[in-house]
Amino acid sequence: MPGSSQTRLGPKSQAVIERTHKYSANHYHRLPVVFVRGEGVRLWDLEGREYIDMLGTYSALNVGHCHPRILNVLREQAGLLANVSNAVYTPQYADFVENLAKFCFLDKVLPKNGGVEAWESAVKIARAWGYGVKGVDRNKAEIIVCDGAFHGRTLAAISATQKCGDKFGPSAPGFVSVPFGDTDAFENAVTKNTVAFVVEPIQGEGGINIPPEGYLNKVSYICLDRNVLFVLDEIQTGFCRTGNKFAFWHQCLSPDLLIVGKALSGGFLPISAVVGTKEAMDAIKPGDDGSTFGGNPLACAVAVEALKVLEEERLADRALLLGEYFISQLKGLDSSLIKEVRGRGLMIGIEFQREHGLEFRDKMLEAGVLCKETRDNVIRFAPPLTITKEEIDSVLNRTETVLRQR
């Protein structure tokens, strides 16, 4: 029965955890649970206990676990043609780029695999555009990013956002960081060498940080005025998560480049992309970018079906309505442990007083709810957008119970 279980691990789970620790690199703090099945909003562990997935694989599972329509397409395409070299054409790739460009109301698509790869390609496009179109001197291009941003974990991405420090230095040059939400700081940082401003509409890993009203409009206007590409990283906020197809749709905005990933494949496969205007995207020529698996027919067919599901199941509307309900109920919780509840659609953060966030996470797992922290004691709720009001109420009940245990 959901909620009644303890996370006490059975011997089978323990054996999996031990093997993982023995043979895996030590690159994640994992929660003590072993999952073997997912369906919709539910997960089951090796001992058969049921959980509500409020993590949604960091927003990759907007359509829920193992969506049957997408699963059918995956099975069929895997048996027809899973992969073939990018040296040739496939109908699945043509469908993918056409559907994704139209979904985003932009012109052209560059496919990659993981999110950070798409982010890196956006950086390359911006630099190539800077040298080829804007006329910036070679090797002088600067890209402005935001303090607290997260764009992934390659060397360039960590150079841009947190600097490589003693462990991974030297940092890659060419990035300047300004406070998130501060229009003046951004404007003052723009120089003749600035080629792009890359920003998350809502910072996800940074702690579900929502910028001040009007910020994105103002910075996009400054970009236009100063001939700087306006680049949105919607890897986490995209594909209906915040109650609109993309978070930037809440404002009247038009990015030059849009970086997408995670939910693009319905959570089944790694596929990501840079989507952009013809002018920016045309800076890339054959040989400048590519990847063996990027745009493979299997991932493309799956992504096209996932885009259809997002629209046909009206998941943006669901996220908007249920998100408003959920956030208002969470804000109404009377607990001295909570500092703030913030969010948009079904991208929600509960900021706890020091230390209590992790304790809350662990107790929620015991109560049959999977959730996890972002930075700084903020617990994120980003469930599949197919979640029902009854499931939200069940999570609210468990939240109240856990908070009362203090």
Ligand X SMILES: Cc1ncc(COP(=O)(O)O)c(C=O)c1O
Strand partners, 39: 42
**For tokens 């939400």, what's the residue?**
181
Among 65, 151, 342, 398, binds ligand X (CB under 6 A): 151
By C-alpha distance, which of 71, 69, 67, 152 is closest to 116? 152
Choices 19-27, 97-105, 158-166, 230-238; region in contact with ligand X by CB under 6 A? 230-238
By rule CB under 6 A, what string of x and - marks binding of each residue 332-361 to ligand X?
------------------------------
> CA-to-CA distance for 273 and 263, rounded, in angstroms?
11
CB of 337 to ligand X, least distance (A): 26
Choices 35-43, 70-78, 110-118, 304-312; region in contact with ligand X by CB under 6 A? 110-118
Instruction: Give me the catalytic one of 96, 103, 150, 197.
Output: 150
CB of 94 to ligand X, least distance (A): 24
Give 210's DSSP letter: P
Contact between 121 and ligand X per CB under 6 A: no
- Do the Cβ atoms of 16 and 34 come closer than 8 Å? yes
Among 51, 96, 119, 230, binds ligand X (CB under 6 A): 119
Nearer to ligand X, 13 or 62 (CB): 62
Among 111, 238, 261, 267, binds ligand X (CB under 6 A): 261
By C-alpha distance, which of 181, 163, 182 is closest to 173? 163
The one-letter code for the residue type at 70 is I
- Does 150 participate in catalysis according to the annotation? yes
- Do the Cβ atoms of 39 and 61 come closer than 8 Å? no
By C-alpha distance, which of 146, 163, 131, 254 is closest to 204? 146
- Does 376 participate in catalysis according to the annotation? no
CB of 266 to ligand X, least distance (A): 15
Strands 50-53 and 369-370: parallel
The one-letter code for the residue type at 244 is N
> CA-to-CA distance for 385 and 374, rounded, in angstroms?
19
- Does 339 participate in catalysis according to the annotation? no
Nearer to ligand X, 119 or 248 (CB): 119
Contact between 148 and ligand X per CB under 6 A: no
Residues 6+ apart with CB under 8 A from 231: 122, 126, 196, 197, 198, 199, 255, 256, 257, 258, 259
Contact between 56 and ligand X per CB under 6 A: no
CB of 382 to ligand X, least distance (A): 10
**Angle at which helices 297-312 and 315-331 pack, to 10 degrees?**
70
Contact between 276 and ligand X per CB under 6 A: no
Beta strands in 272-361 (DSSP E): 272-276, 338-344, 347-352
Nearer to ligand X, 136 or 346 (CB): 346
Contact between 243 and ligand X per CB under 6 A: no
Cα angle: 131, vertex 135, 136; to 5 degrees = 65
Contact between 152 and ligand X per CB under 6 A: yes
CB of 200 to ligand X, least distance (A): 5
CB of 309 to ligand X, least distance (A): 20
Considering CB under 6 A, how many residues would be counted as binding ligand X?
15
Instruction: Give me the catalytic one of 45, 53, 233, 256.
Output: 233
The dihedral formed by the CA atoms of 328, 333, 338 and 340, expressed in degrees to the nearest 10: 20
Contact between 116 and ligand X per CB under 6 A: yes
Contact between 236 and ligand X per CB under 6 A: yes
By C-alpha distance, which of 96, 66, 39 is closest to 272? 96
Choices 150-158, 326-334, 369-377, 379-387; region in contact with ligand X by CB under 6 A? 150-158
Among 201, 204, 266, 323, binds ligand X (CB under 6 A): 204
Choices 38-46, 147-155, 304-312, 340-348; region in contact with ligand X by CB under 6 A? 147-155
Q: Contact residues for ligand X (CB under 6 A)?
A: 58, 114-116, 119, 150-152, 200, 204-205, 233, 235-236, 261
The catalytic residues are 150, 233, 262
